[in-house]
Structures are given as structure tokens and as C-alpha cells.
Amino acid sequence: MSLENTPFWEVIRSSFSAAIWKEVGPAVWDTVYMTVVSSIIMFIIGLAFGIILIWTDKGGIRATPIINGPFGWFINILRSLPQMIMIIIMIPVARSIFGQSYGTNPCIVAIAASCIPMYARMVESSLLEVEKGKIDAARSLGSTDLDIVFRVWIPEAIPSLIRGFTVTVIGIISMTALAGMFGAGGIGDIAVRYGYQRFQHDKLLACIYVLIVIVQLTQSAGNLLSDHVRKKRGLM
Amino acid sequence: MGDYIEIHDLNKTFQTRSGPLQVLNGIDLSVQKGEIFGIIGFSGAGKSTLARCVNGLEKPDQGRILVDGKDVTSLSKKQMREERRHIGMVFQNFNLFESKTVYENIAYSLRIRHEKKDLLDQKVKEVAELVGLSEKLSSYPGGLSGGQKQRVGIARALIGEPDVLISDEATSALDPQTTLQILDLLKSINKEKGITILMITHELDAIKYSCDRMAVLEGGKIIEQGKVVDIFHNPHSRTGELFTKVFFQFQNDEFQSGAGI
């Protein structure tokens, strides 16, 4: 049903019809699957990268500009690639891992590669917010470098890390839609194939509803969790 | 009682954007075992840097710091970690771990040494009792008052059973009544446990109340040291003179309806 030949209200009514959702429903699952798996990969590698950045930083555990400099450059280079170009670049990588360059799993590689550097920078800035005095205190109590990072630095930054994670997960959701153009399936795929190429605007609307709901849920969950931690700690 | 902390010709220069800044300029100091020694100075005199050098948080460019006969400036990283067990530190901003309960804050230095659970539990409760925090063990520092926070800070430093406690402006962020309570606590710790306390502050009141001997720090140098009574009544240095003048002015002046300050 297209807006070109159907009244607006008709299209909206149709966008809630069972026939539409029979097609959109499985795509929702694909999008959620891609988002969750990419987020997990991004969380683990991004956190590790962020720790490397802060460990070698001037104000970090051990100032090592020889690592921090090139590593920072590497992350900046990855960050300067637009997501679409990252997907194209990752096609051969995905093919070498999965034997094919389309479908949800191969696209997860591209999504993670694009979001890891962003999350690494978020982790870095969250950790930099922790007062230096706490690190001094931990040191004065005889902590090793690992104690400082894992017992003090990261736990102290948790509310801020959660908020940063929420922002990047929403970034991932928007990227799954883009990946739909490159054969990833999911909501983006439906929106492009039906909404853009065939003018089926009812399906496009359904995709928009889904994206709005997923993003809202993600943001609310992030806020709730972060506030819960801060409340527990008596900080709000 | 012999010298417990000996500092010889300590120098420290920081590289700042506007060139090198010499913060410590040949400090010589000796603190005896079991005393409360005060170090006073204006902001920027180098007090905190001196404290951080004794604790190994800062490495001096030159000079020696002997704590119980051991030169802490020449220790390796690992040895320094061991040595810190004997040197507790209390901070102006408390620097408590907000992610941990009061219990876990106090237990921290035993946790990182993987101390046995029941021994850890017993020690935490003992120290909490000493600083008067037994009721607050399951709270988070975020919900405590300033005085309570500093008690956690003191307990956290005490649980490793240190021989020296460095108090870096520990009472400067507290109101007068709380300051007095914390000073009383430090005094009783000094008396009961025989812990030497190095009290770094800009509050002459705090020193007068709790210290036996004191030193005046100005421009990165110790310009005067001796018994607190002597310095109060006969200050030779400019800072000492200024401090006591301000001190007596605060004490003695008539009520001035705010016109005086």
C-alpha cells in the first residue's frame, strides 16, 4: 500500500494489519539478534581497548606514549570510516570467517568493527572521569596495577560505563538498519526492499514503529540500570 | 625514642607548561617514633608533595627518605607496595571507593592481599569499632556525612596496621566540630596503638590541638621546626609569624560584626 495512491489513514491502518506483521515479525527477531550479538562483542573488545588506552595514558597506570600514540591513531582511523564503508571493507573478512558475505552473522562482523572504536573512546572518557584521588588512595593501600584497574577504576566508573554502552547500542541498532541494504536481513532490509524499492509505505511505517520501540526500550533500560546503581551507592 | 622518619635534602621539581617548578627545595626533617608531628604551610608550599613522597606516590628527584631505617626512595615497585603496608594515608577529599560499602572500603587492603575471610571479618569489625562506625558497615560512602567519611578513610588506612599514618589535610574539608572529633580520634589512635602521625595541614588550630612538634614549610623548604609551644610563642620564620598572627587575631579580636574580615 503506497501513499501515492492511498489516503494516509488507510496506510496507517494497514501498517497494523496481521499480513504486514507476518513479514515484519521475523525481521524484528533478526534485528534484535544482530544488535545483541554485536553489542556483546563490542562490549568485550571495546572495554579491553578502552583499558589499553587508559593504562598507557599520561595520567594512567603506566604512561607509555609509544603504545598509546599508535593505538590512539589506529582507533581514530577506524572511527573515521563511515559505517557504510566499514561494511564494504569488512565483506572479505566476513567471507573468510563465514564463507559468505551476506546474512546476519557476516554483517555482525562489520557492525562490531565499526562500533568497537566508538565504545573504546567512551570507556576511556568514563574511566578518565574517575577522580585521580581514588587511584592514589588505592595505590597508597598497596594495590597492584591490576587491582587498581579491576577493583577500583572500573567499578567506580560503572554508572558512566552503562550510559556510554546504552548510547553505543543505539548506534548499533541504527547500523543494523543500514546493514539491511547489504544483505543482513532485519528491519532495515524490509524498509529498503518494500518501503524504498516498492513504495509499500505501510511496511515502512511498521519498521519505524519497531525501531522506535527498540530504541526507547534500550534507552530506558540503560537509564534504569545506571540510576539503580547510583541510588544503591547513595549518589542520587 | 629514635628518629622514625628521616628526610634528607629532598628535592622535587615538576615540569609544568610554564617551565620547571621546584616544589621541594632541600627538605631536612626528622620525626620520632610515636609522636604526632605537624607540618604547616600555606597553599602551594609543597606540603602535599612532601606527603606523597613519603608514601611513594611521588618519586623525588634527589634526597633520601628513611622510614624505620629503610630508604623508601630506592625501593622497587614491589618492595614499595610492601612498604606501604606500614604507611597509611588519609586524604582531604576522603577518596573513598563509592562502588564499595563501608565494610569493603575498610577491608580493601586485606582483600587485595587475599586475607582469610574470618580474619578479615574480625579485623574489619575491630577497626570499625575503634573509629565508631560499627553501625554503618553496610552503607555506601555516598550516604555518609563528611566526618563519617573521614572515619572510613582512617579505618581503611588503619586495617593494615601501619606504623605511620600520614594525614594530608584530613580535617580541612570538615566543619569545626567534626574536625575536633577527628583530631580526637587521631590522638587516641596515636596513644593506644603507638602509631606515628605526620599531620599535614594549613590549620594552626589542628596542630596546636594535637601535635608535639611541628615544622613550618615555606617555598619548598623547612624554615622552622621544633616544639609547638616554642614556635607559637616565638616564631622566627615569616610564615610562622604570619600564621600565629592570623591565629591570635582570630582568637582575640573583639566581635567585629564582620567588619574585620
Q: What is the pLDDT of residues A173-204, one digit of tens each?
A: 999 988 888 888 889 999 988 888 888 899 89
Domain ranges for chain A: 29-188
Domains of chain B in sequence order: 3-251 (3.40.50.300)
Amino acid at the residue A135: I
Spatial separation of the C-alpha atoms in residues B159 and B161, rounded to whole Å: 5
DSSP character string of A37-66: HHHHHHHHHHHHHHHHHHHSSTTSSS--HH
pTM of the model: 0.87
**Residue located via cell numbers 623548604:** B221
Query: Which amino acid, residue B138?
Result: S
Q: Is 0.95 exceeded by the ipTM?
A: no
Distance of CA B216 to the CA centre of its chain: 15
% of chain B residues with pLDDT over 70: 96
Whole-number pLDDT of residue A7: 87
Which of chain A's residues have a Cβ under 8 Å away from the Cβ of B160?
A: 141-142
Q: Which residue of A has its CA nearest to B90?
A: A137
Contact B156 A156 (CB under 8 A): no
Q: Which residues pair with B226 in a beta bridge?
A: B214
Architecture of domain A29-188: Orthogonal Bundle (1.10)
- Residue B205 confidence (pLDDT): 86
Task: Looking at chain A, list the stretches that DSSP marks H as alpha helix, in order from N- to C-terminal side.
Answer: 8-15, 18-55, 65-80, 83-98, 104-129, 132-140, 145-147, 154-179, 187-190, 201-232
Most A CBs within 10 Å, among B93, B99, B102, to test the A interface: B99
Which triple of cell numbers denotes residue B225?
621546626
CA distance A52 to chain B (A): 21
Facing B112 at nearest CB: one of A147, A232, A235: A147
Question: What gap in Å lies between CA B40 and CA B111, rounded to an integer?
Answer: 35
Query: What residues of chain A lie within 8 A of the CB of B153, using their CB?
Result: 137
Say if residue A159's pLDDT is above 80.
Answer: yes
Amino acid at A163: R
Residue reference for cell 593494615: B160
C-alpha cell at A58: 599520561
Of all residues in chain A, what percent carry a pLDDT higher than 70?
100
Query: Which is more confidently placed, A45 or B44?
Result: A45
